[in-house]
Amino acid sequence: MLKNSDGFVSGEIFCKELNISRQAIWKNINSLKKDGYDIESVKGKGYILRSDEGILGSAGITSLLEGKAIRYRIEYTESIDSTNKALIKKAYTTDAENMVLIADHQTSGLGRRGRSFYSPAKESIYMSILLRPKIDPGSVSCITLVAAMAVCKALKKSLNKSGYKEAAKRIGIKWPNDIWIGEKKLCGILTQMSCESDYITYVVTGIGINVNNKVFSDELKSIATSLFMETNQNFDRQSIIADILEAFAEYYDIFLADKSMKSLMVDYDDNLINKSKEVLVYGGLVEEIEPDSVRRGKARGIDIDGALLVDMYDTKKTERIIAGEVSIRNT
């Protein structure tokens, strides 16, 4: 209510709208202040939100959740080793589902293929979602694609809302699940799972986004960028997270109903930066080709299982490139 109001909100209005006591309001205001919200109270006028810049917290994010995203329970922690690792522990010790863990800082963020993920404090988004889908374990890789679509949609929305329409147009998915802006990476996604034969115990999808980062190390700066670096403006991480969760819930339900990318592949391909581009295919085993060779082809888009279809120049065939087995790069 404070966020949506331009001026003061009186205690009386809070009591009426929220059906809670004056004492409860006072307690809530104090807990928001502790989270970092700059709230001023003036006798006879009520409360006013002076600033919420840079804040990250479970109350703030929960209050922004809309539509299907209200199913998510948000947990926030200032610093943690890795939000993925922590949710995996939760997955083994509880029956929690649709839990979202958000951290302001990770001390040992995980990237794909055993790499580490650079996770400085107060600038980026580190979030993991705990899911328990009743699907074939072989389809889990599609959840990463679904998450990439959700991130792409939310980041475009944020940029468009702030007037950066050109930057929004340059955002896209690098198959299978990185989000790029132009030639640089903005977001990485790591999905981890555990299953017993055909039964999935848990899926944890972790999303790391460079939002308000001002600098990167020499090593990273040629390959990574942030929303700030593209626009010279800070973005509200809480709104981005809420938008991601809303889009993710929508896409995820469609994926679960189809148990494939059938209804999502056109939308995915619309955001695919590799589409109709020449790509280099690294690794993988194709019978007639040397293992670990680098091959060229033209990417067409994904199929209903999320594999990338590439018209290979050497074999003159359309091959299904499966995530995890090979990596691709635009030429």
Integer angstrom CA distances of residue 133 from 97, 144, 256: 9, 13, 8
- Identity (one letter) of the amino acid at 102? I
**DSSP character at residue 167:** H
Please, what is the minimum distance in Å from the beta carbon of residue 240 to ligand BTN?
14
The Cα–Cα gap between 326 and 244 comes to 27
Verify binding: residue 172, ligand BTN, rule CB under 6 A.
no
Verify binding: residue 102, ligand BTN, rule CB under 6 A.
no
CA dihedral 101, 105, 107, 110 (to 10 degrees): 50
Integer angstrom CA distances of residue 9 from 2, 5, 34, 48: 7, 7, 19, 6
Question: Which residue in the set 11, 36, 54, 111 belongs to the binding site for ligand BTN (CB under 6 A)?
Answer: 111
Contacts with ligand BTN in 192-221 (CB under 6 A)? Answer: 206-208
| Interacting span for ligand BTN (CB under 6 A) from 104-112, 162-170, 260-268, 303-311 | 104-112
Provide the strand spans (E) within 57-156: 73-80, 99-106, 125-131
Verify binding: residue 106, ligand BTN, rule CB under 6 A.
yes
Please, what is the minimum distance in Å from the beta carbon of residue 196 to ligand BTN?
24
Verify binding: residue 277, ligand BTN, rule CB under 6 A.
no
Residues near 318 by beta carbon (within 8 Å), at least 6 away in sequence:
300, 309, 310, 311, 312
Give the 3-state secondary structure of residue 304. Answer: coil
Question: Which residue in the set 115, 165, 277, 320 belongs to the binding site for ligand BTN (CB under 6 A)?
Answer: 115
The Cα–Cα gap between 142 and 156 comes to 21
- Closest to 141 measured CA to CA, from 198, 90, 98, 203: 203
Question: Which residue in the set 25, 64, 76, 83 belongs to the binding site for ligand BTN (CB under 6 A)?
Answer: 83
Verify binding: residue 84, ligand BTN, rule CB under 6 A.
yes
Residue closer to ligand BTN (CB basis): 123 or 319:
123
- Rg (alpha carbons) of the chain, rounded to whole number: 22
Verify binding: residue 112, ligand BTN, rule CB under 6 A.
yes
Nearest residue to ligand BTN by CB is 188
| Interacting span for ligand BTN (CB under 6 A) from 33-41, 132-140, 186-194, 249-257 | 186-194
Question: Which residue in the set 188, 284, 297, 306 belongs to the binding site for ligand BTN (CB under 6 A)?
Answer: 188
Verify binding: residue 117, ligand BTN, rule CB under 6 A.
yes
Residue closer to ligand BTN (CB basis): 32 or 127:
127
At CB < 8 A and 24+ separation, what contacts does 56-62 make? 56/102, 56/104, 56/237, 56/238, 57/238, 58/102, 59/31, 59/32, 59/35, 60/35, 60/238, 61/102, 61/238, 61/241, 61/242
Please, what is the minimum distance in Å from the beta carbon of residue 107 to ligand BTN?
10
Total residues at interface with ligand BTN (CB under 6 A): 19
Verify binding: residue 88, ligand BTN, rule CB under 6 A.
no
Question: Which residue in the set 2, 128, 154, 235 belongs to the binding site for ligand BTN (CB under 6 A)?
Answer: 128
| Interacting span for ligand BTN (CB under 6 A) from 70-78, 90-98, 107-115, 155-163 | 107-115
The residue behind tokens 């074999």 is 315
Residue 6 has phi, psi (to 5 degrees) of -80, -30
Binding residues for ligand BTN, per CB under 6 A?
82-84, 106, 109-112, 115, 117, 126-128, 188-190, 206-208
